[in-house]
Structure 1
């Protein structure tokens, strides 16, 4: 599964519910095993593309449901990487969630 297929899969899943970052990390691991690339680099690149392209927001689940993290793309990515580093890149549902933006929904349904 290449990068475009991973993005497409995450967006389609995001049509129905919020997506745990675990899913992205798992797909990056699978692709890296197939292609021999570093899964962390791939995961960070995919996260950056999703956020920079306005397809998904990153946040956590709180009292009001999905609560997006604030800050520019670089700040959000640094926060994700730091949180993933703390759990040795095995998030187990506890690091953050991804939510489709309206543009992400439109892209997923094309």
Structure 2
């Protein structure tokens, strides 16, 4: 599974529900095992593409449901990488969630 396939998989999952960041990390680990690359670099690359292309938001679950983190893409990504580093990239259902944007939903539905 390459990067495009991983993004498509995440967007398809995002049509039905919010996606835990664990899922993206697991897919990056699996792809890195195949390619021999570093899963952290791949995960950051995937998150960067999802955010900068406006396909998914990063946030947490709160009283109102999904609550996206504030800030521009670079600030949100930096916050996420810091949070993942603190849990050694094993969030165990914590840290954050991913939610499709309307653009992400359209892309997944095509």
Question: TM-score with structure 2 length normalisation?
Answer: 0.99
What is residue 12 of structure 1 aligned with on the other side? 12
What is residue 69 of structure 2 aligned with on the other side? 69
What is residue 36 of structure 1 aligned with on the other side? 36
Residue-pair matches, total: 110
What is residue 93 of structure 1 aligned with on the other side? 93
Q: Distance in 2 between matches of 1:33 and 1:95?
A: 24
Question: TM-score with structure 1 length normalisation?
Answer: 0.99
CA drift at 1:31: 0.2
CA drift at 1:56: 0.2
Q: Distance in 2 between matches of 1:84 and 1:93?
A: 12
Q: Distance in 1 between matches of 2:82 and 2:106?
A: 30
Q: Write out per-residue CA displacement over residues 9-53 of structure 1, whole angstroms, 9 at most, x where no aligned residue.
A: 000000000000000000000000000010000000000000000
Deviating runs (4+, > 4 A) in structure 1?
none
Q: What's the Cα RMSD here? A: 0.3
3-state SS of the aligned residue for 2:16?
A: coil
Gaps of 5+ in 1: none
